[in-house]
Amino acid sequence: MNDDKHHWIGFDLGGTKMLAVVFDENFEPIGRARKKTKGHEGMQTGLKRINAVIAEALADANLEAEEIGGLGIGCPGPLNLKKRTIREAPNLGWKNVPIGDSIRDEFGFHVTVANDVDAGVFGEYTFGAGKGARCVVGIFPGTGVGGGCVYDGKLIRGANCTCMEIGHIPIVPDGPLDGLGNRGSLESVASRLAIAGKAAQACYRGAAPVLREKAGTDLSDIRSGALADSIAGGDMAVQAIVEKAAIYMASAVVTVVNLLAPEKVIFGGGLIEAMADTILPIVEKSARQRVLPSLRNVFEIVEATLGDDAGVMGAAALARQEVLQK
């Protein structure tokens, strides 16, 4: 590798904002820029905004494109990793997005396209809660439930570039419907949306006075923070709902531990950030009781440590991995 090119860029393309961070050779951030995504303005405008954010971050770091080893970008939706395109990003309303070529044509450096959750898991594996483990699985319960797995230093990727879709594994036969029309998936019973749906009912029935005061019965307002406040304020009904969801999360842990035997299962995402203390001890106890006896003491359940930086750090680290392996 050219010695000049020891800087890396991580890019996080979210539904509402986009963020670029430039890292030096020690992966210290030395420049950053962000903009609103504004997906509704269309794909072409969006691709230009992405390049503008990258240019701004480069300027902030006082670097030229020639000094960059590569850029990794974490994207929503199903991707085509080989063609470096987004097949479909429903949140943005974009389809068949040639995001890799668009950035490469503008700046000339290597571009790695990755799933946004995968990028976050790779970030935690490389720099955060998963550091030093041979195999880590990330589980991120938020509005949905995202997941990813690093095995022997690499993200596990299956056919069609999609995998570790842990939110869609079946947990409860004939359970509630999820967004894909399947019943009883992890998302359908343990996402923020699933919990909010039940909490709103408790609220409506008058069983969750604190939640009623903080958020009311509109699911859009029952965010992870409101659920945490409700439990902290003494809403026992909401606590019971969250605890039940934690048991379902534990089922997912039992599944991945029995299948892949990771040393670390990393929990992050909105629900965990808001109430790790309520959820993780239950996940821990239930999962450890139910995994294979020979695996009972070989895994740890840990909380993600990098927060929002996991995505950009992981994306940049993925770009570095791809470039160094060439």
Smallest distance from the beta carbon of 298 to a second copy, in angstroms? 4
Site for a second copy in 294-313 (CB under 8 A): 294-295, 298-299
Instruction: Residue count of the chain, please give it.
Output: 326
Q: What share of the chain is helix, strand, coil (3-state, %, to 5)?
A: 45, 25, 30
| Residue 171 binding a second copy, by CB under 8 A | yes
| Residue 132 binding a second copy, by CB under 8 A | no
| Residue 134 binding a second copy, by CB under 8 A | yes
Smallest distance from the beta carbon of 244 to a second copy, in angstroms? 10
The number of residues that bind a second copy (CB under 8 A) is: 46
Residue of 46, 70, 128, 262 that binds a second copy (CB under 8 A): 262
Q: List CB contacts of 294: < 8 A, sequence separation 6 or more.
A: none
Site for a second copy in 222-261 (CB under 8 A): 247-248, 251, 254-261
* Concatenated DSSP letters of 149-208: EEETTEE---GGG----GGGSB-STT--B-TTS-BSBHHHHHSHHHHHHHHHHHHHTTS-
Residue of 22, 58, 169, 304 that binds a second copy (CB under 8 A): 169
**Nearest CA-CA partner of 21 in 87, 68, 91:** 68
The letter for the amino acid at 26 is N
Burial class (CB in 10 A: 0-12, 13-18, 19+), 6: middle
| Residue 292 binding a second copy, by CB under 8 A | yes
Residue of 290, 321, 322, 323 that binds a second copy (CB under 8 A): 290
Smallest distance from the beta carbon of 96 to a second copy, in angstroms? 14
**Could you tell me the sign of the dihedral formed by the alpha carbons of 18, 132, 290, 255, in that order?**
positive
Q: What is the spatial distance between Cα 200 and Cα 187, in angstroms, rounded to a whole number? A: 17
Smallest distance from the beta carbon of 124 to a second copy, in angstroms? 17
Mark the segment that binds a second copy (CB under 8 A) among 29-37, 193-201, 204-212, 284-292.
Answer: 284-292
The residue ranges that bind a second copy (CB under 8 A) are: 78, 87, 134-135, 147, 149, 151, 156-160, 162-166, 168-173, 180, 182, 247-248, 251, 254-263, 290-295, 298-299
